[in-house]
Structure 1
Amino acid sequence: MARIIGVDIPNDKRLEISLTYIFGVGRKTALDVCRDLNLDPGMKARDLNEIQVTEIANHLQKNYNVEGELRRTLAQAISRLRDIGCYRGLRHRRSLPVRGQRTRTNARSRKGPKKTVAGKKSVKK
């Protein structure tokens, strides 16, 4: 397995797909990298030699925010929203959907498993 920027990319997949295993690299970025370095996007990742692997790593680090740097940037942006106390920051703090989605139903992936609350007991006369 080739290791690029601390990520093992799969050998058996096409290069354009293998590069998407790096955080911050999608299909378009992977195709752009292949085009810039004159690599065939259809070649298997196992066919890369060491020189090509280092070229890919250097190109990604120089031209794109990927892996640790991108994660750090996102975490700083979210913590800034929390610190200034804006609406989006409050939603992040409470682990609720941030972009205006409804929460009466759905939003389970963001809110977590259901927490059942006991309902009102009826009063008998």
Structure 2
Amino acid sequence: MARIAGVDIPRDKRIEVSLTYIYGVGLTRSQAILAKTGVNPDIRVKDLEDGDLQKLRGALENYTVEGDLRRQEGMALKRLQDIGCLRGRRHRMSLPVRGQRTRTNARTRRGARKTVAGKKK
């Protein structure tokens, strides 16, 4: 396996798809990187030459990917929670953040139902 940005990318897939295994690189960014470096997007990772791998590693240094990106996103959420804004409080309570209704739906964010017993006569 080739190692780029600290990630082992699959050898048998096309380089265009393999780059998407790196956190922060989607298909569009992968295509842009390949166009900038001049590497053929249809070539398999196992057929890449060392020079091509070096070009790709160099091009990826211009982007925030993997651990740095995860840390950056985590710090942004922590900042929202620390200042106590509505978005931060909603994140802390594991509720939908972007104004969705919670009376019904929102099961993904709230978790499984906690059944409350009905009122006895």
Q: What TM-score results when the alignment is normalised by the length of structure 2? A: 0.91
Map residues 58-77 of structure 1 onto 2, 5 A cutoff: 58-61=58-61, 63-77=62-76
Give deviations 1:67-97, integer Å, cap 9, x for gaps: 0110011000000000011110011001111
How far apart are 1:104 and its partner, in Å?
Answer: 2.6
Corresponding residue for residue 119 of structure 1 = 118
Corresponding residue for residue 54 of structure 1 = 54
Structure 2 gap segments, 5+ residues each:
none
Q: What TM-score results when the alignment is normalised by the length of structure 1? A: 0.88
CA–CA distance in structure 1, aligned partners of residues 108 and 10 of structure 2? 28
1:40 is paired with a residue whose SS is coil
Check if 1:101 corresponds to 2:100.
yes
Give deviations 1:12-63, integer Å, cap 9, x for gaps: 21111111110000111000100010011111111112332232122112x1
Q: How many residues align?
A: 121
State the percentage of identical aligned residues. Answer: 56
Letter in 2 for 1:13: K
1:115 is paired with a residue whose SS is coil
Give deviations 1:96-124, integer Å, cap 9, x for gaps: 11112222333222222222222322x2x
RMSD: 1.4
CA–CA distance in structure 2, aligned partners of residues 102 and 42 of structure 1? 45
Structure 1 gap segments, 5+ residues each:
none
